[in-house]
Every structure is written in structure tokens, then in C-alpha cells.
Amino acid sequence: GAGVSQSPSNKVTEKGKDVELRCDPISGHTALYWYRQRLGQGLEFLIYFQGNSAPDKSGLPSDRFSAERTGESVSTLTIQRTQQEDSAVYLCASSITGRTEAFFGQGTRLTVV
Amino acid sequence: TQLLEQSPQFLSIQEGENLTVYCNSSSVFSSLQWYRQEPGEGPVLLVTVVTGGEVKKLKRLTFQFGDARKDSSLHITAAQPGDTGLYLCAGEVAGGTSYGKLTFGQGTILTVHP
């Protein structure tokens, strides 16, 4: 595709349910990031994948959050037992090597009710 | 504790005014980038600076990388309402444990009133 694609664009879920967010990076980009952005705030780092290296999970806020990526393809961010404080926009970005320009998707707006 | 501290966090100014946003760290960065994010969109790269002391200009925007590569600034001359958005600095820590990982500052929300 032409850019980073995220789905769904919007997700409303009930408290306690699990959700899966998907990110399709730009083809050939080895690095992939997930960020969380609360309303009117900056970016909060969640996880970083670089090629086949072990992911940097240092930003995951709790064990309810997990992410997977197979090779240099699609990534999924899973939030288990969602809480209202999980409501935010979840942004995915990819870049060629990690140190170069990061291209962002338009995000998934998650609302937990 | 933020690796990259941006200031101010919020900035509200009138059209035509000048402004400066700062990005500071105690760590040395291999390179530093500035992004702008408009409502409902993902951040978009404005510029990358790689050399200590480097200054880059992009129309009314001037970006500077500190000599020690620990800080950067973004100066906007004669701000316009179209400059409104979230400005983010991001960098790769030199010698960091996660190869190539970009670390983002918390952002500066700029509002330019007509």
C-alpha cells in the first residue's frame, strides 16, 4: 500500500472485553512502533519492533497489553480486559531501518464504555 | 521521566507572532527529527538534523540542533493559523540499546489565533 494502514479506524468496546488493533506497515519497512495518544496529549511509546530482533516492550503499561509482529509484516496490538483509561488513539508507525523517517497511520480511536 | 523534554507544553499566540519550542535531553542523540500532527491525522516529518550545531530552514520554520546533540529548537516566524497543531521532537539515542528506536518528546500544542 501507499502508506501505513490501521484498522479499525474506530472501535467502541465494553469494559472488560478484549480488543485487537491491526497495523499494516509500508512494505519493506523493518521497524514498527505502536504509540498511544490520549486526547490533547503527546505520544506515549508502547512497543518497538526492529526486524527479527526481540521487541522493545518497555512502554507497555500493563500485562493486559501485548503486541505481535511476524517478520516485517502486519502487527497486532491486543488489549485484554479493557478499562476506561485505555480509551485513546492508538498510532502505528513504520520506518525503513528505525532511525529514518517514521511514517504514521491515521490511528485507531478506541473508546471503552 | 521523559528522555526528551519539550517546552512549553501548550502555546497560544496571535497570528504574526514569533515563537520557539524547545526539546532538551541529558542524552546525546545520533539524529533528531521534528514532526507536526494535525487533528485526526498521524504526525508528519518536518525535518531531520544530524550534525551538532546544524541549522535548517523550512520557509518560516528554523530548526537548530545543539552543538552537543542533546537539544534542539524549532522557531516559527510570523505564525499563521495554519501552523496550529502538535509539534513533536524525536531522536535516536546514540549508543542506545534498541537499535534505531526513535524516542518522542511529549509534544507542544500550538494554537495560532487569527
Residues B48-102: tens digit of each pLDDT: 998 999 999 999 999 999 999 999 999 999 999 999 999 999 988 887 776 678 8
Check pLDDT > 70 for residue A90.
yes
| Chain B residues inside the 8 Å CB shell of A33 | 102
Residue B2 confidence (pLDDT) = 67
| Chain A residues inside the 8 Å CB shell of B45 | 101-102
Using CA atoms, how far residue A49 sits from A15, B80, B108, in Å, is 28, 37, 26
Residue A105 confidence (pLDDT) = 95
Residue appearing with cell numbers 497495523: A23
A45-49, A59-63, B74-78, B96-100: the lowest-pLDDT one: B96-100
Residue appearing with cell numbers 467502541: A12
CA distance B70 to B20: 17
pLDDT band, very low/low/confident/very high, at B112 (cuts 50, 70, 90): very high
| Most A-contacting residue of B48, B98, B103, B110 (CB-CB within 10 A), to test interface | B98
Distance from B98 to chain A by nearest Cα, in Å?
7
Check pLDDT > 80 for residue A99.
no
Q: In sequence order, what are the residues at sequence separation of 6 or more whose Cβ sits closer than 8 angstroms to the Cβ of residue B96?
A: none
Nearest to A42 by CA among B76, B62, B87: B87
Nearest to A102 by CA among B57, B9, B91, B28: B91
Q: Which residues of B, range 58-87, sit inside 8 Å of A by Cβ?
A: 86
CA distance B109 to A93: 20
| Chain B residues inside the 8 Å CB shell of A50 | 98-101
Amino acid identity of A57? K
Check pLDDT > 60 for residue A1.
no
Cβ atoms of B88 and B103 closer than 8 Å:
no
Burial of B56 (0-12, 13-18, 19+ CB in 10 A): middle
Check pLDDT > 60 for residue B114.
yes
- All three cell numbers of B26, joined, read 541529558
Residues of A with CB under 8 A from a CB of B: 4, 31, 33, 35, 40-43, 45, 48, 50, 53, 56, 91, 93, 95, 97-99, 101-107
The answer to whether B48 faces chain A, any CB pair under 8 Å, is yes
Residues of chain A above pLDDT 90, percent: 75
The H or E element spanning position B42 is none
Query: What distance, in Å, lies between the first and last C-alpha atoms of chain B?
Result: 36
- The Cβ of residue A103 has, within 10 Å, a number of other Cβ atoms equal to 20
Check pLDDT > 70 for residue A32.
yes
Residue A4 confidence (pLDDT) = 95
A40-44, A64-68, B11-15: the lowest-pLDDT one: A40-44
Of A4, A42, A53, the CB nearest to B104: A42
Pairing of strands B108-113, B10-14: parallel
List, in sequence order, every residue forming a beta bridge with B5; answer none if it has no partner: B24
